[in-house]
Amino acid sequence: MRDIVITVIILGSLPFILKSPATGGLMWVWVSVMNPHTQAWGFATHMPFAFIIAIATMVGLLMTREPKSLPLTPISVLLLLFVAWMNVTAAFALLPESSWVQWNKVMKIMLMSFVIMMVIRTQRDIVRLVWVLVGSLGYYGVKGGIFTIRSGGTERVWGPEETFIGDNNALALALIITIPLMYYLQQNSDKRWVRRGLSAAMLLSALSALGSYSRGALLAIAAMGLFMWLKSDRKLVLGALLAAVTPLLLAFMPERWADRMDTINTYEDDVSAMGRLNAWRMAWNLARDRFLGGGFDVSDASIFARYAPNPMDVHAAHSIYFQALGEHGFVGLVLYLALGIATWRTAAVIIRRTRGKPELRWAHGLATMSQASLIGFAVGGAFLSLLYFDMPYYLMAALIATRIVVERQVRAATPSARPAKPAAAIAEQP
């Protein structure tokens, strides 16, 4: 039954995608972030839904009379440079065969990220994109939160297999960066049942993130919560709410969860933590030795034998920063960091230009909560190999479109600095 429902929804959307490429972009985001086919058990699990939607969106983009250009902003330009550099490093990869397999996956994500930047242009499309992101990941947040309650927190929460968020740590981080977007939608909805539903989703998603037993997620949610409190206009109310809810969530988790979190303070005795440090040293040594880095997918015994302090302890990068460093060298890391800074600054510009403007309250709230999500990703991503996780790139697209819409509305509302004189006044001048 699930297979039929998913197939009908996706194939039924194709006429709408051909008519409106923005719809295709939203469908792509849904399929790539949520991976709904993984929730089925039959033929739908092997259907190339993402490919079908991508082709339909491209065709719709060619057919539409709407603008087709890529907005040239600091974010899009830096992402173009980052993608171009990844193509250079891939050509000189240490492991060409596995590198090109990964290159194929990453370039599809990047191509569609640029397509999303092209088709998401209006306030309506921006808000719909946020809803799709929230719905796609909120599903696993609610499901995982309920599972955590039923198991008493004794079992770990995992994401859908063979996806970016299949790992418990990755799912936890994805949920953490989704919570601020849930809060944004809650604050901008006038329907009571929607606000209550999103409140429950935020609580369950936080519980699901804790139930993943991810130490990086705990640090990320702490950093994000602090940022949201600092940015809140109602610090007393939000502070009281956090003070009341946080102890309840932590008290619910069993002792084995607390024991695992305590290993943050004793990382020298933790095998997993020391394995990550070994992988980070390997990435550093590799980047120092090779200007172009090692290319995609360098988590291999032969590479660790050459560059790692402990050649027998082979681990994935477990860090977006060291993943960029090891695979694409110092140039790749600098471009990636610059991309993050440009995204932050874009949100800051939106916040500054919308402050005190009620008609742009939606953009102000989105930019603020996007910064909270970026804080969570920056902290949690320091411990996970999620350099190519597509959700942050879609959030970049939302911020690009939001800034363009805001600048257009501000420009339209601002009277000319030197208004033209009436024709009669000109005629009266000597």
Q: What is the 3-state secondary structure (H, E, C) of the chain?
A: CHHHHHHHHHHHCHHHHHHCHHHHHHHHHHHHHHCHHHHCCCHHHHCCHHHHHHHHHHHHHHHCCCCCCCCCCHHHHHHHHHHHHHHHHHHCCCCHHHHHHHHHHHHHHHHHHHHHHHHCCCHHHHHHHHHHHHHHHHHHHHHHHHHHHHHCCCCCCCCCCCCCCCCHHHHHHHHHHHHHHHHHHHHCCCCHHHHHHHHHHHHHHHHHHHHCCCHHHHHHHHHHHHHHHHHCCCHHHHHHHHHHHHHHHHHHCCHHHHHHHHCCCCHHHCHHHHHHHHHHHHHHHHHHHCCCCCCCCCCCHHHHHHHCCCCCCCCCCCCHHHHHHHHHHHHHHHHHHHHHHHHHHHHHHHHHHHCCCHHHHHHHHHHHHHHHHHHHHHHHHHHCCCCCCCHHHHHHHHHHHHHHHHHHHHHHHCCCCCCCCCHHHHHHCC
Question: What is the total count of domains within the chain?
Answer: 2
Task: Please name which of 171, 151, 251, 241 lies closest in space to residue 199, comparing C-alpha atoms.
Answer: 241
Q: Which residues of the chain have pLDDT under 50?
A: 269, 417-418, 420, 422-430
Q: Are residues 121 and 16 in the same domain?
A: no
Domain of 27 in residue numbering reads as 1-68
Q: Are residues 325 and 389 in the same domain?
A: yes
pLDDT digits (tens, 9 = 90+) for 317-328: 889 999 999 999
Q: Are residues 231 and 363 in the same domain?
A: yes
- Is the residue at 424 inside a domain? no
Task: Please name which of 113, 117, 119, 136 lies closest in space to residue 24, comparing C-alpha atoms.
Answer: 119
Q: Are residues 54 and 174 in the same domain?
A: no
CB 142 within 8 Å of CB 149 = no
Q: Are residues 172 and 280 in the same domain?
A: yes
Task: Please name which of 113, 133, 131 lies closest in space to residue 175, comparing C-alpha atoms.
Answer: 133
pTM value is 0.88
pLDDT digits (tens, 9 = 90+) for 47-79: 888 899 999 999 998 888 877 789 999 999 999
pLDDT at 260: 67
Q: Are residues 61 and 74 in the same domain?
A: no
Q: Are residues 73 and 197 in the same domain?
A: yes
- Is the residue at 337 inside a domain? yes
Whole-angstrom CA distances from 426 to 49, 418, 420 are 65, 15, 10
Q: Are residues 240 and 175 in the same domain?
A: yes
Q: Are residues 38 and 78 in the same domain?
A: no
- Is the residue at 415 inside a domain? no
- Is the residue at 387 inside a domain? yes
Q: Are residues 32 and 140 in the same domain?
A: no
- Among 68, 92, 115, the domain boundary falls at 68
- Is the residue at 428 inside a domain? no
- Among 11, 39, 68, the domain boundary falls at 68
- Is the residue at 180 inside a domain? yes
Q: Are residues 332 and 201 in the same domain?
A: yes
Q: Are residues 198 and 241 in the same domain?
A: yes
- Is the residue at 429 inside a domain? no
- Is the residue at 419 inside a domain? no
